[in-house]
Amino acid sequence: MTHPPLRLLWVLAFACLLPLAAGGQSASESESERYSAAGQQALGAGHYAEAQENFEKLARLNPGVAEIHATLAVLCFKQRLYERAISEIHTALKLKPGLPRLDSLLGLSLAELGQFSEALPHLEKQFKLAADTEIRRMCGLQLLRAYSGLNRDADAVETALALNKLYPEDPEVLYHTGRIYGNFAYVTMEKLHDKAPNSIWMLQASGEANESQKAWDASIVAFNHVLALDPRRPGIHFRLGRVYLARFREQAKPEDREAAVREFTAEVDLDPANGNAAYELANIQHELGNLDEARRRYEQVLERFPDFEEALVGLGGVCLESKTPEPAAVALEHATRVNPADEVAWYRLAQAERALGNREGQQKALEAFQRLHNTTPVTLRKPDADADITPQQLGPGETP
């Protein structure tokens, strides 16, 4: 877990030091003021060991001032002296039970030592109630560690969801919550394996897992086993079709594409509402150059699912190849409204507008394409494409 930033330390330390500036000190007042000023200056410069040394001297002169011990706790925490930080926190709270900010620091320190059960009450309270967003964020991140360390996976996921809602663009939050979700998925699948190793659900999970690892043969065996147990199970023929199609793209064996067509057709026969399977059949006809059949199938998909963006882009491509730019432009304009981030749709729309003699429309579409093409990494060129279907891509003749 990333260490708290300097801003958080100032939030904690400043809250502790405010009463110190207002009150008088025992012992030598001038000497106390000198150590206090030097300690605060060192803290502000990030010289934590020097700051600690000054505040330790101040504490010896003023052993009964809670704020000094609280500030020492902050400095020890920053230097990863967690046991010492906890000791200073307890001393400060004994002297002044209501001292602010220390509950969160105590929870963070206990969590860093792996004392998760002891840390939980403090972290849970501060994650819900802390007014400072940085303190709340740090307590939330430590809660993820604590819940995971205590095998309270459901609580970890609940906290991860809350963190994502509070800090939707924070890279550290995204990283740690992503790990929580992945771990929870793994634990859940392990439980499924333990409780029902020969169930349809386990076989389906095995097929999907092998598919994600490109273990095509094992995936095909698993999905076929599912169908042997439940021949009319929706979605399985489609998954098989996707596996065969993926293996065809990797190994270029015609029989794999034929098997993919067979499985997609079986899925549509079983479930006519499976637009993904119908789309893949249209796409394969397009790749084979059967433009009339591809157009018919794309149009059938769009009759049932008029906002199926990839089918709109596919239909636009077929119409362009068939030298019918007007319906291409209609489909592609619709596609860009559904997904303005699809550069393939914009490029094909530019081609359709050019064929129609609409220079203004062509220029607008090209500008949108170039903006997306030049700013989107190659690995994210189709960020919104459904992972279950083959996304439309620019062919060799369309490459700008």
What is the pLDDT of the chain when averaged over all its residues?
87
Q: What CATH number should be reported for the domain whose range is 6-190?
A: 1.25.40.10
Place of tokens 């064996």: 253
Place of tokens 């002044």: 96
Q: Residue 230: what pLDDT?
A: 94
Higher pLDDT, 46 or 376: 46
User: How many other CB atoms are found less than 10 A from the CB of residue 255?
Assistant: 10
Whole-angstrom Cα distance, residue 329 to residue 67?
A: 71
pLDDT tens digits, one per residue of 146-198: 999 998 989 999 999 999 999 999 999 999 999 898 888 877 888 888 888 88
Whether the predicted pLDDT of 301 surpasses 60? yes
Helix, strand, coil abundance in the chain, percent, nearest 5: 75, 0, 25
Whole-angstrom Cα distance, residue 220 to residue 224?
A: 6
Whether the predicted pLDDT of 28 surpasses 70? no
Cβ burial of 399 (10 Å; 0-12, 13-18, 19+) is exposed
Confidence of residue 19 (pLDDT cuts 50, 70, 90): very low
Helix, strand, or coil (residue 294): helix
Q: Residue 125: what pLDDT?
A: 93
Helix, strand, or coil (residue 16): helix
Place of tokens 């499976």: 274
pLDDT tens digits, one per residue of 95-122: 998 887 789 999 999 999 999 999 999 9
Percent of the chain clearing pLDDT 70 (strictly above): 89
The stretch 311-329 carries a mean pLDDT of 96
Length of the chain: 400
Whether the predicted pLDDT of 247 surpasses 80? yes
Place of tokens 């410069």: 45
Q: At what angle do helices 309-321 and 343-355 cross, to 10 degrees?
A: 30
Confidence of residue 18 (pLDDT cuts 50, 70, 90): very low
Number of H helices, E strands in the chain: 20, 0
- Closest CA relative to residue 392, chosen from 400, 382, 380, 378: 382
Confidence of residue 26 (pLDDT cuts 50, 70, 90): very low
DSSP string, 208-252: HHHHHTT-HHHHHHHHHHHHHH-TT-TTHHHHHHHHHHHHHHHH-
Asked if 76 contacts 89 with a C-beta cutoff of 8 angstroms, the reply is no
